[in-house]
Each structure stands twice: as C-alpha cells, then as structure tokens.
C-alpha cells in the first residue's frame, strides 16, 4: 500500500479587526433608536460588554443610582443549547461604570416597566445587521463595538491595567496584539506632551 499523501491546508488568514469610528457609532445608534438592539449596542460601545454578558443582564444587575452594571454571568452554548454560565475567568466578574447617557435611557426604560434586554442572543446578529443597513454603514460585527470601547479608553490615555479590568481580561497581551496601532498613536501623544513639558518656556 502507498502511504497516504499528507494534505497541506492553506494557512489561516488573520482576520482584520474593524474598529468603527465614533461618528459611525453615533449614526448606528440613531438608526437603532427605540429598537430591541439599541440597549445592547450601548452596553457594548459604552461599557465594553460582550454579547453573552449583555444577553444575560437583568435589572438586578444594574444600579442606576451608583451608575454601575455588575457582570456575574453570560449566556453561552452547551450540549443542551443556550445556558446561563459563570464568566470564563475570575477577570470576567467585574463592575463597570455606566455613562450618564446610558443611565438616562435605562431609567426611562425601567420607569415604563420594560425588560432590560428585549432581544434573545440568537437574534443579535440579524437585528444588528439590519440596523447597520438602515444606517447605511459598512458591515462589521457586533463584537467590534467592544473593540471600539477599548480603543477609546486607550486613546484617552487610560492605563492598560485599568482597561483590561473594565473589559474583563486577565492580561494586557490582548491589548498589545489587538490595538497596536491605537497604542502607538497614544504613545506618540505622550511623547509630544513630554516634549512640550520640557521644552524651553
């Protein structure tokens, strides 16, 4: 018998991460206003939450007075279908601040007696894609809103260790891999500030 020929698979291409601009996020939010995907978009873009974390949220997880959301669970797949799970790591358990803009929307929603998240995780992608088309924006993933959030924090000069604490990662490795160009721009900004500080007055 001839030995079987080895099959050489093509190298897997590294997927490009698309980070939407602040302008695109604003256009998207306007298109999603009043729909079931509006609140999930805001939690992803303004708090950096993952899709599964957002889908698992209830009003018990939100403290509007303190302007905080507590992440203690997420919806994920299992052999028995979708289930509510604990975060994958200790870093996943966290408390994230809610910006005033989102607090106002949530307060209005709560006063009307509506559920916090009115969309199932299975409908996220389809509804999100519909919102993108309605806003006439290029297609990108719901998860890219989380990249947007992290990139904004880095651009603002928020320390890496605080960024990973907010987004629920245990190390800065992901930041270095994913946001190299954003971190480079922030670094150049720091160098300009240092130069200005020590320049001749």
191 phi and psi angles, rounded to 5 deg: -60, -40
Residue located via tokens 């907010």: 166
Give kind and range of the element (H or E) at residue 85.
strand 81-85
Q: What is the pLDDT of residue 2?
A: 56
Q: What is the pLDDT of residues 89-126, one digit of tens each?
A: 788 899 999 999 999 999 999 999 999 999 999 999 99
Tell whether the model's pLDDT for residue 59 goes beyond 60: yes
Q: What is the pLDDT of residues 3-14, one digit of tens each?
A: 555 556 555 445
Q: What is the pLDDT of residue 3?
A: 55
Q: What is the pLDDT of residue 104?
A: 96
pTM above threshold 0.75: yes
């Amino acid at each position: 018998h001839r030995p079987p020929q080895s099959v050489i698979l093509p190298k897997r291409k590294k997927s490009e991460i698309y980070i939407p601009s602040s302008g695109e996020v604003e256009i998207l939010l306007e298109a999603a206003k009043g729909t079931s995907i509006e609140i999930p978009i805001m939690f992803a873009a303004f708090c950096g939450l993952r899709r599964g974390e957002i889908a698992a949220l209830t009003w018990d997880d939100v403290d509007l007075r303190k302007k905080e959301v507590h992440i203690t669970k997420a919806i994920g797949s299992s052999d028995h279908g979708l289930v509510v799970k604990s975060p994958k790591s200790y870093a996943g358990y966290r408390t994230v601040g809610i910006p005033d803009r989102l607090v106002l929307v949530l307060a209005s929603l709560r006063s009307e007696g509506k559920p916090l998240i009115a969309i199932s995780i299975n409908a996220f992608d389809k509804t999100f894609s519909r919102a993108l088309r309605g806003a006439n924006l290029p297609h990108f993933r719901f998860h890219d809103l989380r990249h947007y959030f992290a990139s904004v924090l880095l651009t603002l000069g928020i320390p890496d260790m605080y960024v990973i604490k907010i987004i629920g990662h245990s190390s800065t490795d992901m930041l270095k891999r994913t946001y190299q160009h954003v971190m480079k721009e922030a670094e150049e900004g720091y160098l300009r500030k240092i130069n200005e500080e020590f320049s001749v007055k």
